[in-house]
Structure 1
């Protein structure tokens, strides 16, 4: 690599303007590596992956730039083809850059809100395709705390404060009211939001004013390694999320024939009603199963109870079993509705159900298992299940 003219590394044009995505740049070197070409430019509008932010992608002389990374102050543009010109036209994906600016600055503002309200630091940050995650050093976070922080962060957005970036020595940077200790060495790039909203060391791209973040929305949260992981969407992502969810709400409200504000109560009432109906059905089903069990016992003239059901599913077989499991019979129960099979007894017979299934079930295309007293199986079709039933009758059951 020609390093004579790159003592200070690749010039980062995106630091001059966080929205600059197109430029004519000079090729310094092209390295072939792992079937790809890594192009080094004297200057670049492409942001390299780092600081929790993904890299830019785009085109160089109409050749796709697939990934960008930085090593020892040199930025490498990974491509499947190499450019042929010394001066190349670079076009980073503008929409992706705007999105990353909004998400990254939104994360700074949300972190600043948690720090101001609860003196809690952000221990980790990741900018993903769907949302931004941030790990806040609070173990027992409450919903009210999160909502308060969300309101505070959006207040910072609405204030439309300027966002400044500059470089300091580590000693100079540590004199600022930082919300997080600096671990890097050497020259530190600082991001300052407003006069006193937030001071953070950061290598990522940011908006120029906090108002450009538009809005910050917490979409979910969870406990994670003694902290709370917060998921947020900012700017256009938050708007798209709102549109989708508003469509859901509108459709649900229309289906229930209620106003949006009445959906929760309607769902609660219907859930309670469904729960009560399920209990009634379960009790009725259990009574039917009990009656069926007594009928099966009355009409059998051996130690085998075999029954095949066309309309009933496996849940009915399960209820039948509960009423027959203590009786001295071998049970062969099958459901044609879902091609499931139950084989069981009360322990009085020299038949190990689970072992038998393990040894023979595959021969009949069945899948399942169980213990010595009970086993169950699924079959791809009723013919396979009936063949297995016949096998049990002819080769296993001698009662």
Structure 2
């Protein structure tokens, strides 16, 4: 590359919605099977400041990625443009989305700072969410709701958003919510007269009302801070549509109004919990009766039984009623293709050791201790073959 190449003119700073322009090619570098095109000016925003790059087309050739190094912007493409003057077209829908998300993040951060003095320590604009790491360890739901309301109040005020360059000394005289670490020219984003002042290289809306709405969709503790997930503008609207469809479908299923869903779900959850307890008690009774029947019918020291309809949870309950009795147990569930092998400790058989030595030969997976081992199999035939092995070898 020619070392005399000047800094790329950033057309997107003149107009945050400018996505088309005819630009002059200054250099093309072939690198790693791609072409990196340098233009004298560009409408393509390069990745940086937590914001992904623009994508789009240059003379109908796809621009896959854009990055900046030493004030020069590189457009990564799979094909080399042929013309000296090229028509650039960045994805406008993507730019609008990024403008809304990035400006929404500024206002959300401003709200946490104003209400709780919580500084934003990190920001990421992803495909689904925008995340903010606020330096508040013990965030409450009430704090979240108040900050969300405050940020949307800033949106509804529809304040102007200004961007300009200042020196670091000039920037430090402004009411910043976060200290500046960069040197040289500082790009300042000012929202309203006193809503927010932040150093930022990303694209923004022209007025706060263009963000439309800011919605916190979830929050969690993260490295001694609180990570906030937000969606703004069209993303928030699409999220509302999806969740409203869920609510409508659930309400229809319960035959209740939307406002009654929570009470209905709580009522049914309690009812299901009570039924589970009753079923568990009944299942234990059935297992106890089955255990007594097995002991009564056993003519030797072995209890070997295959269950077609019952799952492994029934074998577990059955074991609880037999574990102290003097029998060697081989219980299998055809429903789950799982096997239980156990005894009360009075036999010279190490169940876990036997499984470790032989189980893989039968395609099984599992293990256990000296008195009990269990395994699952890919198919019933493999499990039955292992059962036969236990009968012929372990029980003699």
Superposition TM-score tier, normalisation by shorter sequence: over 0.9
Q: Which of 17, 20, 40 lines up with 2:18 in the alignment?
A: 20
Contact 1:2 1:28 in 2 (8 A): no
* Cα deviation, residue 3, structure 1: 4.3
Q: Who is 1:103 aligned against?
A: 101
Map 1:25-44; keep pairs closer than 5 Å.
25-44=23-42
Q: Residues 153-172 of structure 1: CA distance to partner in whole angstroms, max 9, x if unpaired?
A: 00000000000000000000
TM-score by length of 2: 0.99
Q: Who is 1:306 aligned against?
A: 304
Q: RMSD over aligned Cα, in angstroms?
A: 0.8
Say yes or no: does 1:2 pair with 2:13: no
Q: Who is 1:54 aligned against?
A: 52
Say yes or no: does 1:356 pair with 2:354: yes
Q: Who is 2:264 aligned against?
A: 266
Q: Residues 19-76 of structure 1: CA distance to partner in whole angstroms, max 9, x if unpaired?
A: 0111111111111111111111100000000000000111111111111100000000
Q: Who is 2:294 aligned against?
A: 296
Q: Secondary structure at the match of 2:341?
A: strand
Q: Who is 2:151 aligned against?
A: 153
- In 2, distance between residues paired with 1:298 and 1:93? 78
Q: Secondary structure at the match of 2:49?
A: coil
Q: Residues 100-146 of structure 1: CA distance to partner in whole angstroms, max 9, x if unpaired?
A: 00000000000000000001100000000000000000000000000
Say yes or no: does 1:366 pair with 2:364: yes
Map 1:214-225; keep pairs closer than 5 Å.
214-225=212-223
Q: Secondary structure at the match of 1:203?
A: coil
Task: Choose 180-189 or 296-305, whichever is displaced more.
Answer: 296-305
TM-score by length of 1: 0.98
Say yes or no: does 1:94 pair with 2:92: yes
- In 2, distance between residues paired with 1:161 and 1:41? 34
* Cα deviation, residue 2, structure 1: 3.0
The answer for unaligned runs of 5 or more in structure 1 is: none
- In 1, distance between residues paired with 2:305 and 2:151? 65
Q: Who is 2:395 aligned against?
A: 397
Q: Who is 1:330 aligned against?
A: 328
Q: Who is 1:241 aligned against?
A: 239
- In 2, distance between residues paired with 1:29 and 1:347? 81
- In 1, distance between residues paired with 2:247 and 2:93? 28
Contact 1:339 1:381 in 2 (8 A): yes
- In 2, distance between residues paired with 1:95 and 1:391? 66
Q: Which of 188, 191, 208 lines up with 1:190 in the alignment?
A: 188
Say yes or no: does 1:45 pair with 2:29: no
